[in-house]
Structure 1
């Protein structure tokens, strides 16, 4: 059997960070449960898949430039006119498949930024991409693109 050090080094060189992080615990568990080699490999591959998905979500969250980390569960729907069912439907991201837009309108302090951020974060977690703009930044960007004929 190959020593632990070279295996972990090879995983690092191949950038298999999920496998490397799960290796010790998984091998210990596999020995106790008498896993077949293909079961161990399958578990290591699953660990790598989960790590890559998590890394992709973290990256997408960064480039989305959300103003803060807020989720639908954090929003207090009680005593607001906000339609909770609609917000939860939007958070599933189906409107994106239909190529629809969402515009949140309301006065200061009504939760527009919170809900936009929460919906965006939820969509990103399902593998979609997004980008947060406030109105001023969006208009400036559109004007700049228009001047540049894009």
Structure 2
């Protein structure tokens, strides 16, 4: 009876201390400790290690959820031989995530279907696994959020939040053009991170065509200069990765 009271008290204290593994598993852990005849020190270490592992796994799940990826893609799932040569040559360097530590950008530029978004999301998920804070957004969505923040007079709060991310993935630059307000906001907020925090940008347009999006040649030149400084520029022109996957799928039907 006394042992039951002790177990109940352990659960109560563990719950108060927000130790979910111990709260849920203390009885099984005690049984295993008795079977293995563990010392008090070994028993305590086992409890703490399992609690740590659970907290680490939950942290990864939360970071991936908060990153707002549209779907999960992994670097390990890439078919390297189907990637454009430039991406194939650099993917190992990117996978080390050293570019995040040094605050460098990656710009994946090329025609649709060549794996730009897959690479970006794969690196983002790998970064979440390593403890980095990541945000995935499309350029059009980011512009809408910036405009809404300006209207609501919450741009400063948005700026503080934007700067905290270790890595921001800005997908789909080039699919729509922007008015002057949108161009200025996008320039300002992407420039805030330049040289300090990493941004991955995917685009279907070469740099000489960016003025089609931003309309202002001077601003376009300034943005390209800031985003490309000490950045990795990856030529993603090649055969469509998605088209090949579709053809293989059709052949199996």
TM-score higher than 0.5:
yes
- Say which of 101, 112, 115 aligns to 2:116: 112
- Cα shift readout 1:102-139 (whole Å, capped 9, x = no counterpart): 12112111111111000000011011111112232344
Kindly indicate whether residue 137 of structure 2 is the aligned counterpart of residue 133 of structure 1: yes
Size of the aligned set, in residue pairs, is: 149
| Rg (Cα) greater in structure | 2
Runs of 4+ aligned structure 1 residues displaced above 3 Å come to 82-85, 138-147
C-alpha RMSD of the superposition:
2.5
- Say which of 20, 45, 49 aligns to 1:46: 49
The TM-score normalised by the length of structure 2 is 0.52
- Cα shift readout 1:15-61 (whole Å, capped 9, x = no counterpart): 20122344344323222221101111111111111122122211111
- Cα shift readout 1:54-103 (whole Å, capped 9, x = no counterpart): 22211111111111111111112223225345223312211111111112
Q: Which of the two has greater strand per residue?
A: 2
Consecutive unaligned residues of structure 2, counting only runs of 5 or more, are: 156-183, 190-253
- Say which of 123, 127, 130 aligns to 2:127: 123
- Say which of 14, 18, 31 aligns to 2:17: 14
Consecutive unaligned residues of structure 1, counting only runs of 5 or more, are: none
Asked if the contact 2:83/2:115 (under 8 Å) is kept, the reply is no
Map of 1:86 onto structure 2: 90
The TM-score normalised by the length of structure 1 is 0.83
